[in-house]
A and B are shown apart, each in its own frame.
Chain A
């Protein structure tokens, strides 16, 4: 439980809570509200050997696979859907043996997190039986229900070392407000040992109460105010998904590991002196304004 009255810190202080070898749960999902600025800082900090868990993700996990940051992927999906198709860095890292793919399933993950939240060693599920997941996860155990005789599977509690989230609003105390699909963020925050948060804007507690509190402060370890901290993923209604930037990212990744390093990571991660510098490099005020004003011509966002 985190009871400090003021959780605010810098981005580097936030990421200093994360250690090499940690199990990291990344918030958001697919093209929505992923903590991208924090992940870029994580890469610059040289943290490695991470086990990364989550449900359905895209550029966030793929970018970590483009550098030597991850050892294990416990995601249920990593891809660009019908947008750009398969992600390249993830595939390359797995096929080279750099990252071990230990696929998870959405509900299996939910039940594992729930067990951790409730302080139980495991939770039962009915699904997964008859699939190859039982071989991929020898830690899952079959069980016959003592009440019904049904065949069930027990999945162990999962308490990530760190949950890394991006929220819309917070107060100094660490109460969070997330608008739209929360994905697994609330489960992550409650199950993790530490919850680190970047937030679009820190506002007064009175203002936050008017919006509603999605995650109470005592789950939150530290938070850092970072407008556009989810870019190039979306943070609706504040800004839309930056498809153009994601396409550029994908094209760089497709050219090979060395090209991705030189053409994308160097320019948008390593050479950035600050988050503001990154925002200037992705198009600055004019591009950010387009993403903020998605209501005016939403379809243009997908050109």
Chain B
């Protein structure tokens, strides 16, 4: 296509940057010098009384064309940055027009009535045929009036160019340049023509495409739709004034002969000015007509724009606001700002609250008004069920809506707020007329509701996350406190070595072990496991610690201790909670270990020769029975200590831990491991047992709390009654 090729060539055409200082200097000097030469030329010809020689004439006209081309480039460069509203642009054009008319009238008044020459086409003070000015006033008028007219038409062209280029496309640029090209071509065809002559057929032909392109360009009016109503009216008035002024400048009415002077000055300039003025008039006409037709749709367009703005502000909120009240206010304001409704309110679900439905925000009416007029819960129940929009075109005829005295709720729209298949609440919008909601209103409100749901869901997630973090911190504190309840140091006792550790499967656990040294010979032990719901275990464990620390000194013997502990716990433990413990006294003076089992895992005992036993004496868990049965069933077992004896106390986390295949560690494996490592001291034995358990489990994570206490009796050297160094106190990190 030759046209497209032409276009791309046009696009590739890059003019020099006339805004640069260097170019501006060149252009200004070209304008000044050319203009001064023109004045000189006219003065010379006036003084001589005859037109200068042909060569001079050619030089003059060329320099004038160059001068005004430079002026155009200068003005064009300074207008390139302009980005004003259409009303302003029209206002500037009108102001330019007024200035032009005033100045031109003043100049016209100079030397009026002098040097009249009869004859067609002759203007005061000018001899068209001989091409000489007759008076000095005529010289001034020729130069000034041409400058004024051409500058004015250039300004109009440039101001309108900003409008034509609104939302420019490649084709709009191309059309503009083509028009300018035709203008210049038609103008230059009259180069050196005698001002007394007509335009001539060729020029008239050349003007046809120029006018054609002017018509095409005058339909570039896309800026009109975006104008608010008032600005449309203002623009229409200004366009009318501008059109009239351009008409005056063309015709002979108010300013007779201005164009005749310009034509005398330079024929091409007058043609250019004529075409520019023509374009100006055309553009004003199309503008006025278009504005006239667009006036009625302004309201609808404005509403759409408000809708978009309201959605934008909501979308902006989603990422910013986690304050529910602020969010709700914005949500209910949106449909009203967008003119989709008169009253709007939000009903939110508050899971866990005593009243699960909450009227969060009302805009456009009082909350009491809303609640008295309709059963919002029932309306909400319906949209919650259908998860779809509920539209009541005649709201008062619905059984759930009463008639409001002011008729504020004549039509009603209820939109559920859906987020991740969950109904968070509903957005209610009401209008004071029946059938007030059009399809696009419903659409717009649905969009608001969708945005609102997203924003509310975000706010909710944010809150949940905060809550989770808070819980996490609290549990970390609880864990720290609980760790402090476990012995930080294991007391030493001659002839024995002891090692102990406890690990919780979760943040806080229900396992407990402790020691109290009663005197030089006796150490009280406890290992326990609280069975209770969740974190309650941690509290019972703390209670157990208190009981152990105080009671073991008052009633150290296993039977007395456990009976008293059971009584103490019975009043405080939840019915389904209980504590299983092993309690004992290691008495090195009498070289015996007295212990009792209250529902706990049996103590494992292995002697020097590898003989292993489980000490499974009778006894039920603490807190299971109020007294009689507990006491009846409790048996104390007394073991004579033999050097090399190892006692292992543990919680069910040890024997009931299961590996990936679902097998329990069990008593058999515990015994086997004990037999293998029985010659090591308590520390190494403890570590070896845990290591064996980990190997079996294949992981270091547990499903249950796990406590392991190892006590080894090394024995006393014969005849020595003072403490021996083997007793070691250990504090094990868990």
Q: Tell me, yes or no, whether A binds B.
A: no
B-side residues, CB < 8 A to A, are none
A-side residues, CB < 8 A to B, are none
